[in-house]
Amino acid sequence: MSQYRVPGRGRVDTSRPVNFTFDGRSYRGAQGDTVASALLANGVHLMGRSFKYHRPRGAIAAGSEEPNALIGTRRGPGRFEPNTRATVQEIWNGLETTSQNKFPSLKWDVGAVNDAAYMMFSAGFYYKTFMWPKSFWNKVYEPFIRAAAGLGVAPTEEDPDQYASRYLHCDLLIVGAGPAGLAAARAALAEGLKIVMVDENAEPGGTLLSEPQARIDGRPAWDWLAAEIAALKAAGVRIMTRTTAIGYYHQNMLGLCERVTDHLPSLPADTPRERMWRVRARQVVLAQGALEKPLVFHGNDRPGVMLAGAAQTYLNRYGVKVGNAPVVVTSHDSAWYAAFDLQAVGARVQAIVDTRPHVREDLVNEARALGIPVRLSHTVTATSGRLRISGVRVNPVSGATVGAGQQIGCDALLMSGGWTPSLHLFSHTQGKLAWDDDLSTFLPDWTREDCVIAGAGRGLWGIEAALKDGAERGREVAAALGKPGNPVALSVENDRPGSGVSMKELPTDRNPGRAKAFVDYQNDVTAKDLRLAVREGMRSIEHVKRYTTNGMATDQGKMSNINGLNIAADALGRPAPQVGLTTFRPPYTPTTFGAFAGYQRGAHFEVTRKTQIDPWAAANGAVFEPVGQWRRAWYFPKAGEDMEAAVRRECRETRASVGIFDASTLGKIEVVGPDAVTFMERMYTNPWAKLGVGRCRYGLLLGDDGYIRDDGVIGRMAQDRFHVTTTTGGAARVMNMMEDYLQTEWPDLDVWLTSTTEQWSTIALNGPNAAKLLAPFVEGVELTEDAFPHMSCVQCTVAGMPARLFRVSFTGEIGFEVNVPAPMGAALWEILWQAGQQYGIVAYGTETMHVLRAEKGYIIVGQDTDGTVTPFDAGMGWAVGKNKPDFVGKRGLARPDLAAKGRKQLVGLLTEDRSKLEEGAQIVFDPRQPVPMTMVGHVTSSYVSDAVGRPIALALVEGGHDRMGETVHIAMPDRVIAAKITGTVFVDPENSRLKI
Amino acid sequence: MLLIHCPYCNETLPEAEFTYAGEAHIVRPPDPSALSDDEWEGFLFIRSNVRGPHYERWRHMHGCGRFFNAVRDTVSDRFLTTYPAGQPRPDLASLTAASEPSK
Amino acid sequence: MSIQISSLTPGVLVETRAARVSTQPAPGRLSLRARKPALPALGAALGLTLPECIGQRAAGDGTEAICLGPDEWTILTSADLVAGLMAASAGVDQPHSLVDISGREVTLRIDGPRAAELLSLGCPRDIDGIAVGEGRRTVFDGATVVLWRDADNSFRMDIWNSFAPHLAQLLDIGARELAAESA
């Protein structure tokens, strides 16, 4: 056992050694150790280098607030995480860890020259240093900043871990399982109440884990704790450990990040690495305790300088003595106990230095009794040592006078500047804080959430005070939940309450302008930087923060905010409460992207809707494209074909014989009721009253602003029943819009809408042989020009399946859309595919569908329209029922701007050099005009057309309908392409191919 | 995530079941064509954008599917009440909400 | 992972000690819309008393109904009774809409000791707010679903066909995750 491990102390199991590596060197710790406690047990304080100056640093804390000891952890391929706090990561056999911000090694680091160039990197240096000469920016400054920026090294491999998330609803959520939280749970317990308690540590207990000397209810603290945890669990309280409450959101929703496997030596199957809990609680108790403040003095960052409370935790919880000859410097009573505890296990405390002239007599007496030298009214003005502290310079203070310094040798310096209530989550609720003069800190004041703060979070120090307050708050929330609550009376012996004073920088006899007295350790912000920021005109604490980066590190100012505020307030000559605090935002501690993503990664990244025919497409080599939430077959390449070749073949064979296409994704809405036709008249631009049963019509849907929203073919299945189709991407939007008008504008109409998108599998057959292929399977109607002309619809049977058959065409060829109940779609597809072989049937995807429709000038809403296109702009004025008294969009179309000349109108384009235009390319009339040119439109659709024998395009062009035959120019990065404006129909303008 | 009371389901449910649907009590004129351009502009585009209690519409999209009205304080992001579509605006004075105590 | 989910091929998708997820055979399914005054006549035509509170269910001889909205019900029946019910309701002269949606969705049965917890992976609402014998339309992992609670730990989830592979994938992951947890 190492000389720093104290037998009989701590909760780690030294009989179960754990081997891990740090920077390639092997170390032995004990089961229950963190990386930090295990390294300290081996006498290692140097754990990292700071971000800006690359100064050597050790752990200064023992919990999640740690700003310095950031390490990388590795567990085989892909499982590397940077910036993990060594004070939180538990060790397991085989864990590999590395230090950060060093080159070539932690002990000898090149970047440390920044430390020597310290004066250059003062507050706001990046606003000043890199300003001139301008030409240096690209070549010198930016590469330098980029190389230096970033904390740790980002992982380069894909993370193989699974992440999870779950919703949880409870009556009471208690954040923090220390004495206040435990007492609150005990006091609130009631039959039928669902209580959840979370703690970020590996085990519950909070401060009790660091204070085994206390006796609660007549029993040693740890015995009482074990019994209480067991009792609460038995009573149904759910206690979640290694779970951090990272954010407090609206109406008592909290995010909890549970670390499930990071502490395990081997990964269990089917188990996520982390799980995000989204908890909705009726009442919340925040019992998060308080964070100890560092003292601010020159050299307060040397490895071996540590918070006194952390040293106590390392000793009492982990059985680790952080030094054999420590010095304590403090302005608060609590640090005295650290000295006593260390002295009791054989360390020789070299001195207790207290900035206060008067300290509680019992503390001074006990120190004297233990033989510890006491220096009251003293300050620390410097530390010495290179990679580890070796001495501290201590000076007497008398009023404003700092006396001569004296060197005291030491191997650790334990500091305490008092305690700050942990109010981060409270602040997430937009809760108001109130300044407490006595404690010189902010305390919780008011929040609109159903939330109370208990214990040290309210500035109450000591176990007894925390238990008592927790019990009171617990009864308070029980009452709010309509329960009586339980009396909790617990006696506490050997408690260690205390008080102290709040300091700005410690007084010094040296030039404070040269002091490296750190406030924000991780971002290397010193007291001098804060004062410089104020001198340079920063008045708001928010500006001071951004100018200096104080509190902007990954610890979010847990260590630095109050010290920074005290110093800034002093520099501003204003009281701290008037200067105010910066805002805390979630997450409370750094949280992985994986935890936020949860299940939504890889194949489960987003909802992917698949048709019943999707498996056939996948099995037949389809390349897919996402359309809205759907994945659709894009094209079906044969061996050796690229996309262009495949699409060209699909187009050619469809126009030559017959093509089959999965149109199931089209939105479908069943409009039913006596007022169905009235509703259709009001929604769509077209007239519907005279549409006969068994006929269908192309419908155009506008917004009330007059712009095209959607389109689709609509069939009248019965007098009071319409089968409406919408675009694939617009289905949900159109349904919502229709429901909106129906429910809120026309609630008197007797008509109802039912989404039938997924009721039907829709298979489209197009091509000269489409009718020949389909006819043998159809019962109930003859597929002849007379019996079933273009734009007919009928309920019939296809291949023995109940069907709705539409004769429509989106290709200009003879076309049918067969709708059968969705689960039958795959079978029908297979039947038609087999029967189609005699005609050389071709399966085509969305790209070919796009080409075929563009050749006919049919628009795609959302591609050829962009939300500012009217039916008249699109050349579809014929679809607008001019005699209808009203429809959605009628008044909008009459707005002056929509009726004005010179609007962008949909036209065809044929390039002079027969090249294919790029969709989205901008169009100008005169390519010789000076830059910036006046852009007059853009290309909306562009394809290579097999039927036309050259590329074709659709475009929106200013006044385009009156510019037929004119030449426009499309400016590309490498050249300007000339194109002639044409009509939008490129194939069969007489529609002769539609006839059977 | 907010909690929203659906006046049709009579349940208070997570925001994830709902979608926002713009300002409430803006009635489409019975004969839009009779409106002047200015009046039509007012109906189509002009919204109140208040700081404080705001009359607005939500839809219980993943629930009963109904559009309904709500009064939400845009400062505190709290719902003061919700009520079925078609009902008149509730009197603000009758709606109480948790507010910061005056000092 | 590509799971093919179809009511034509019922069967167990995943079964662990925590939960079992299985595809149910296709029933007849109808969507009924009507105003309150039409309910008695429609109920008589369909052979049950239509419940008027959202979430409540009622059963008739071979039929089952759930109220999903103030004017909306889903009627479950056997596939061969659909045509008869459509015809019967056509005789009701009060305005209403009855649409055959038998092909629209697939139903998953989710049961097992931790079935309710499995639902908490994707459903933001409190599952315990749905009483046994009731049901609700809600959202699960980004898709609208109807949840029927038949027992404390036995649910049916109606899902539009195209969403089923995505949702089944999460249920599969979750059933294994919960089982590993209770191992």
Q: Give A 63-92 residues with CB within 8 A of chain C.
A: none
Tell me what the mean pLDDT of segment A7-19 comes to. 96
Helices vs. strands in chain A: H and E counts, helices first? 26, 52
- Residue reference for tokens 């109108």: A905
Give the whole-angstrom CA distance, residue A19 versus residue A10. Answer: 19
| Residue C7 is assigned to a structural domain of this protein | no
Give the whole-angstrom CA distance, residue A878 versus residue C82. Answer: 41
Tell me what the mean pLDDT of segment B3-25 comes to. 97
> What pLDDT, in 10s, does the model give residues A718-736?
999 999 999 999 999 999 9
Q: Considering only CB atoms, which chain A residues are within 8 Å of B99?
A: 448
Residue B103, both tokens? 């000092």
Q: Compute the nearest-CA separation of A631 from chain C (Å).
A: 10
CATH number at residue C130: 3.30.1360.120
Of the candidates A249, A280, A891, which has its C-beta nearest B32's C-beta? A891
Q: Compute the nearest-CA separation of C163 from chain A (Å).
A: 5
Tell me how many domains chain B contains: 1
Q: Considering only CB atoms, which chain A residues are within 8 Å of B19?
A: 736
Q: State the pLDDT at residue C1.
A: 41
Share of chain A above pLDDT 70, in %: 96
A300-315 CB burial, b ≥16 within 10 A, e <16: bbbbbbbbbbbbbbbb
| Residue C2 is assigned to a structural domain of this protein | no
Q: Residue type for A406, please? A: Q
Give the whole-angstrom CA distance, residue A559 versus residue A428. Answer: 18
Pairing mode of beta strands A326-330, A412-416:
parallel
| Residue C141 is assigned to a structural domain of this protein | yes
Q: Are residues C67 and C118 in the same domain?
A: no
**CB-CB contact of A967 with A979 (8 Å):** yes
Domain boundary residue among C67, C84, C100?
C100
Cα end-to-end span (Å), chain C:
25
Tell me what the mean pLDDT of segment A657-664 comes to. 98
Tell me how many domains chain C contains: 2
Partner chains of B (3+ C-beta pairs under 8 Å): A, C
Question: Cβ–Cβ of B85/A747 closer than 8 Å?
Answer: yes
Q: What is the mean pLDDT of chain A?
A: 94
> What pLDDT, in 10s, does the model give residues A138-177?
676 666 666 666 678 888 899 999 999 999 999 999 999 9
Residue A448 banded pLDDT, cuts 50, 70, 90? very high
| Residue C6 is assigned to a structural domain of this protein | no
Least confident of A23-27, A246-250, A929-933, C1-5: C1-5
Residue B43, both tokens? 């109906």
Q: Are residues C35 and C93 in the same domain?
A: yes
Q: Are residues C109 and C162 in the same domain?
A: yes
Q: Are residues C22 and C109 in the same domain?
A: yes
Tell me what the mean pLDDT of segment A213-220 comes to. 97
**Predicted confidence (pLDDT) at residue C89 exceeds the cutoff of 90:** yes
Question: Cβ–Cβ of A611/C7 closer than 8 Å?
Answer: no
Interface with chain A: mutation pick from B28, B45, B46, B80, highest number of A CBs within 10 Å: B28
**Predicted confidence (pLDDT) at residue A263 exceeds the cutoff of 70:** yes
State the Rg of chain C over Cα.
17
Q: What is the mean pLDDT of chain C?
A: 95
Q: Considering only CB atoms, which chain C residues are within 8 Å of A271?
A: 177, 180-181
Q: Are residues C60 and C45 in the same domain?
A: yes
Least confident of A202-216, A897-911, B89-103, C10-24: B89-103
The answer, for B77 touching chain A at a CB cutoff of 8 Å, is: yes
Residue C57 banded pLDDT, cuts 50, 70, 90? very high
The answer, for B66 touching chain A at a CB cutoff of 8 Å, is: yes
Q: State the pLDDT at residue A292.
A: 97
Question: Cβ–Cβ of A603/C143 closer than 8 Å?
Answer: no
Least confident of A802-806, B12-16, B98-102, C141-145: B98-102
Tell me what the mean pLDDT of segment A875-890 comes to. 96
Interface with chain B: mutation pick from C36, C74, C123, C137, highest number of B CBs within 10 Å: C137
Domains with residue ranges and CATH for chain A: 13-129 (3.10.20.440), 164-290+421-493 (3.50.50.60), 318-416 (3.50.50.60), 503-584 (1.10.10.1100), 606-665+759-863 (3.30.1360.120), 667-756+870-889 (3.30.70.1400), 901-995 (2.40.30.110)
Least confident of A777-781, A930-934, C162-166: A930-934
Give the C-alpha distances (Å, rounded to integers) separating A880 from A689, A990, B50.
14, 22, 38
**CB-CB contact of C143 with C119 (8 Å):** no
| Residue C61 is assigned to a structural domain of this protein | yes
**CB-CB contact of A851 with A844 (8 Å):** no
Question: Cβ–Cβ of A736/B1 closer than 8 Å?
Answer: no
Domain residue limits at C138: 12-26+103-181
Residue A905 backbone phi and psi in degrees, to 5? -125, 150
Least confident of A140-144, A562-566, A584-588, A638-642: A140-144
CATH number at residue B44: 3.30.2270.10
Q: Compute the nearest-CA separation of A206 from chain C (Å).
A: 26
Q: Compute the nearest-CA separation of B98 from chain A (Å).
A: 6
Of C183, C174, C180, C161, the closest CA to residue C4 belongs to C161
Q: Considering only CB atoms, which chain B residues are within 8 Å of A892?
A: 40, 44
**CB-CB contact of A345 with A7 (8 Å):** no
Q: State the pLDDT at residue A908.
A: 98
| Residue C139 is assigned to a structural domain of this protein | yes
Of the candidates B21, B33, B40, which has its C-beta nearest A886's C-beta? B33
Angle at A425 between CA A424 and CA A430, to 5 degrees: 95
Q: Are residues C126 and C36 in the same domain?
A: no
> What pLDDT, in 10s, does the model give residues A389-417?
999 999 999 988 999 999 999 999 999 99
The answer, for A899 touching chain B at a CB cutoff of 8 Å, is: no
The answer, for B80 touching chain A at a CB cutoff of 8 Å, is: no
Q: Are residues C134 and C79 in the same domain?
A: no
Of the candidates A610, A751, A755, which has its C-beta nearest C165's C-beta? A610
Q: State the pLDDT at residue B103.
A: 41
Q: State the pLDDT at residue A126.
A: 61
Q: Are residues C50 and C61 in the same domain?
A: yes
Domain residue limits at B73: 3-29+37-98
**Predicted confidence (pLDDT) at residue C44 exceeds the cutoff of 80:** yes
Q: Considering only CB atoms, which chain B residues are within 8 Å of C142?
A: none
**Predicted confidence (pLDDT) at residue A51 exceeds the cutoff of 90:** no
The helix-helix angle for A221-234 and A179-188 (nearest 10°) equals 40
Question: Cβ–Cβ of C170/A604 closer than 8 Å?
Answer: yes
Q: State the pLDDT at residue C70.
A: 97
State the DSSP H helix or E strand holding residue A452, giving kind and residue range, or none if neither.
Answer: strand A451-453
| Residue B103 is assigned to a structural domain of this protein | no
Domain boundary residue among C78, C100, C122?
C100
> What pLDDT, in 10s, does the model give residues A517-553?
999 999 999 999 999 999 999 999 999 999 999 998 8
| Chain B residue with Cα closest to A891 | B33
Partner chains of A (3+ C-beta pairs under 8 Å): B, C
| Residue B72 is assigned to a structural domain of this protein | yes
Q: Are residues C51 and C119 in the same domain?
A: no
Q: Are residues C147 and C177 in the same domain?
A: yes
Residue A884 backbone phi and psi in degrees, to 5? -75, 140
Question: Cβ–Cβ of C72/B65 closer than 8 Å?
Answer: yes
Question: Cβ–Cβ of C137/B10 closer than 8 Å?
Answer: no
The answer, for A752 touching chain C at a CB cutoff of 8 Å, is: yes
CATH number at residue C53: 3.30.70.1520
Partner chains of C (3+ C-beta pairs under 8 Å): A, B
The predicted model scores a pTM of 0.94
DSSP category for residue A581: -
| Residue C113 is assigned to a structural domain of this protein | yes
| Residue C1 is assigned to a structural domain of this protein | no
Tell me what the mean pLDDT of segment C160-174 comes to. 97
**Predicted confidence (pLDDT) at residue A776 exceeds the cutoff of 60:** yes
Share of chain B above pLDDT 90, in %: 86
Q: Are residues C52 and C139 in the same domain?
A: no
> What pLDDT, in 10s, does the model give residues A60-88?
999 999 999 999 999 988 899 999 999 99
| Residue B16 is assigned to a structural domain of this protein | yes
Domain boundary residue among C70, C100, C130?
C100
Pairing mode of beta strands A305-307, A412-416:
parallel
